[in-house]
Structure 1
Amino acid sequence: MKKKPEFRFAFPEDTGKILFFIKNLARYEKLEDEVVATEELLREWIFEKKKAEVLFALEDGKEVGFALFFYNFSTFLGRAGIYLEDLFVLPEYRGRGYGKGLLRELARIAVKQRCGRLEWSCLDWNRPSIEFYLSLHAQPMKGWTVYRLTGNSLKNMAGSDEEEMQ
């Protein structure tokens, strides 16, 4: 008989595990060069400033997957939603229901807190994940493109008040 997946929220002492999962996800996505997060930064932003939460999937007490999420807000729905920033299951534990279980747990949290939606992004080339999400009846957002300001572009935008006035 298949064991029911177990889940738990992360604690500050799990910061090293969170970074481990982030680095493994980045390796899978071929984005290792972009990881600048440190344990200190994660501890500050997740646990001290409480800007995100982490849920672990467990097998026999061992963390085998994680989901990092935070709350956003839909003005159209007039309520909060959950944005899933990262979902990753270690390769040797895939196909055992941990990814689906993490999404189910997030859906339960969203429903319990009366959130209007659960959403996330997926890289266009990641066919295995896309197929997985479609199998769960998740809908791609056609006609929407994600835009981002980071680094110097973000700093330049933050200091652009005088430019706007002219």
Structure 2
Amino acid sequence: MTSLRLRNATEADLSLVLHFVRALAEYEKLLHEVKATEDDFRRLLFGAPRRAEAMVAEWDGAPAGFALWFYSVSTFDGRPKLHVEDVFVNPDRRGHGIGRAIFAELARRALAAGCSRMEWSVLDWNAPSIAFYRSIGAVPREGWTLQRLSGAALDALAAG
């Protein structure tokens, strides 16, 4: 008998959170971009103010995946929205409904927090994830492109 349990991450899970972030980055061919440490996640998830939240998915008592998210706002509808930063399920545990269960739990949390929607990004080449997102009813945000300001450009703008 197999069982799935979703639970909030605790400080004891910091190394596990970092492990899953690195596993996701490796899958996305972006491992070289991961600079975060356990201390960074301690500040984000358990510091004051708390900047993000995380959950761990356990399959038969063993870690099988995780999610990390935060809340932002929509000025157009005047309500919060839940932004999913990362979801990852171990490749050997995919196909068991773990990802769907994670997104369903995030949807429940979004509604409980008064959110009007959930949003996340996906790499355009990640066909399996895109197909999964379509299967749960997600649609792309047509006409919008994610913009990023970081590194030297962020420093230069801030310096004025």
TM-fit CA distance, 1:130? 0.3
Amino acid at match of 1:35: V
Partner of 1:97: 97
Write the distance in 2 (CA, Å) between the matches of 1:8 and 1:157: 40
Query: With structure 1 as the length reference, what TM-score do the two structures score?
Result: 0.92
Partner of 1:157: 157
TM-fit CA distance, 1:80? 0.5
Query: With structure 2 as the length reference, what TM-score do the two structures score?
Result: 0.96
Partner of 2:23: 24
Write the distance in 2 (CA, Å) between the matches of 1:123 and 1:16: 25
TM-fit CA distance, 1:5? 2.6
Which secondary structure does the structure 2 equivalent of 1:44 belong to? helix
Write the distance in 2 (CA, Å) between the matches of 1:81 and 1:110: 7
Write the distance in 1 (CA, Å) between the matches of 2:109 and 2:3: 18
TM-fit CA distance, 1:10? 0.5
Kindly tell me the number of residue pairs found equivalent between the two proteins.
Answer: 159
Amino acid at match of 1:12: E
Partner of 1:124: 124
Gaps (5+ residues) in structure 2? none
Partner of 1:88: 88
Partner of 1:164: none
Structure 1, residues 82-140: CA drift from partner, whole Å, max 9, x if none? 00000100000000000010000000001111111111000000000000001111010
Partner of 2:140: 140
Query: Pairwise CA RMSD of aligned residues?
Result: 1.1
Amino acid at match of 1:82: L
Partner of 1:36: 35
